Amino acid sequence: MTDFLQLMVAGVSIGAIYAMVAIGFVLLWQTSNTINFAQGEFVVLPAFAMVLFWMTLRLPFALALLATVLVSTLLLGFGVRKLLVARLLQAGVLPLVIATIGLSLLIRYSLQQFWTPLALPFPALFPRAPLRLGAVVLAWEELLNVAFAGAVIGALQLFITRTKLGWAMQAVAQNRTLATVLGIDVGRLITITFVLNAALTAVAAILIAPVYLVKYDIGIGLGLKAFYAAIIGGFNQMRGALLGGLLVGIVETLSAAYVSGPFRDAAVLVILIAVLLWKPEGLWGAKEEWAS
């Protein structure tokens, strides 16, 4: 039982990070119909930037964090929106999908080629000292990860539900044409969503770097997990991505501990396929209108 509790906390801790990546993914889809296949690399690039600012240039932590978020929002938020998305939105969903695939390859192999093919170590952000609650031993790191991710997601939730910009974002997600008619500048909101997403992935990068190490190809797995989380939870709701991320983290951690043999990695996939078959809008998603 104590094992189970400890594993649950570990699962929630990693799941909260997946949830952040998945939420950004879902926000992009909702406001701009962009299926971002480069979402994993959107985490990897800031992780490398953090290594540069914090460990190589030896900036103080807060400054390095700020610089990383700045680089991420400028390059992956603003830059991608202005250079790629602005031109491709008009050509339909597919060219944009292919372009994000190209972007993921470009970031991944540029880092490998021009930086390093090796895994870079990343120091723990939070003390790894154990926290004893009776028989249960938890890591401070895990608890603080959850608190940090929770605070960021909470702030985002407040932004979306309590501010005018947030309401406008919801309006665009629900009906773009109607939002335009209501006088909402859809283009500007898409830009804001891209910047928000880049900030989210930058924070996720800093939280996940001590767990995964920093390597050019960790984006493949991360992107896929965000994708699973979004599909399982629900592609058209922020709460879906949040719960989906947590679920993926918990199931992954539990199955790594309890399931042996070749199907260890399959637990999340079994849930994914079951959801696709019986509830294609996701466990906590809103029902989509039917196509035909």
Partner 1 sequence: MTDAARPRLRRFLPVGVLVLLALLPLGFEQYKLYVASLTLVYLVMAIGLNLTLGYAGQISLAHGAFMAFGSYGVAILGQRGWPVEVGLAVGAIVAFACGILVGFPALKVKHHFLAMVTLGFNIMVFLVLRNWESLTGGSFGISGIARPRWGLFSFGSDRAYYVYMVGWATLVVGSAYWILTSRWGRAFRAIRENEMRAEALGVSLRNYKLMAFAIGAAYAGIGGALFAPLLGYIDPGAYTLDRSIQFLMMVVMGGLGRFAGPFLGAILVTVLPEVLRASEGLYLVIYALAVILMMLFMPKGLVGIWDWAAGRRDAGAQPPVPAPPGRLRTG
Contacts with partner 1, residue ranges (CB under 8 A): 35, 37, 84, 87-88, 90-99, 101-103, 105-106, 109-110, 112-113, 227, 231, 235, 262-263, 265-266, 269, 272-273, 276-277, 280-281, 288-292
Nearest CB to partner 1, comparing residues 97 and 138: 97
Least CB distance to partner 1 at residue 236 (A): 10
Least CB distance to partner 1 at residue 231 (A): 5
Least CB distance to partner 1 at residue 186 (A): 12
| Residue 188 vs residues 23, 91, 180: alpha-carbon distances, Å | 19, 19, 11
* Length of the chain, in residues: 292
Nearest CB to partner 1, comparing residues 124 and 269: 269
Distance CA 183, CA 43 (A): 34
Least CB distance to partner 1 at residue 275 (A): 9
Nearest CB to partner 1, comparing residues 134 and 262: 262
Least CB distance to partner 1 at residue 198 (A): 18
3: Cα separation from own chain's centroid: 28
Amino acid, single-letter form, for residue 121: P
Nearest CB to partner 1, comparing residues 183 and 292: 292
What is the four-CA torsion angle of 177, 178, 182, 186, rounded to 10 degrees?
Answer: -40
Nearest CB to partner 1, comparing residues 56 and 110: 110
Q: How much of the chain is in helix, strand and coil states, percent to nearest 5?
A: 75, 5, 20
Least CB distance to partner 1 at residue 225 (A): 12
Q: In a 3-state reduction of DSSP, which class is residue 34? A: coil
Amino acid, single-letter form, for residue 217: D
List the one residue out of 55, 54, 53, 46 whose CA is nearest residue 20. Answer: 46
Written as six digits, the tokens of 226 are: 């965000």
Least CB distance to partner 1 at residue 144 (A): 33
Written as six digits, the tokens of 219 are: 């984006």
Nearest CB to partner 1, comparing residues 185 and 288: 288
Nearest CB to partner 1, comparing residues 199 and 285: 285
Q: In this structure, which long-range contacts are made by residues 153-159, counting pairs with CB atoms below 8 Å and at least 24 apart in sequence?
A: 153/16, 153/19, 153/20, 153/23, 153/242, 156/23, 156/196, 156/200, 156/238, 157/238
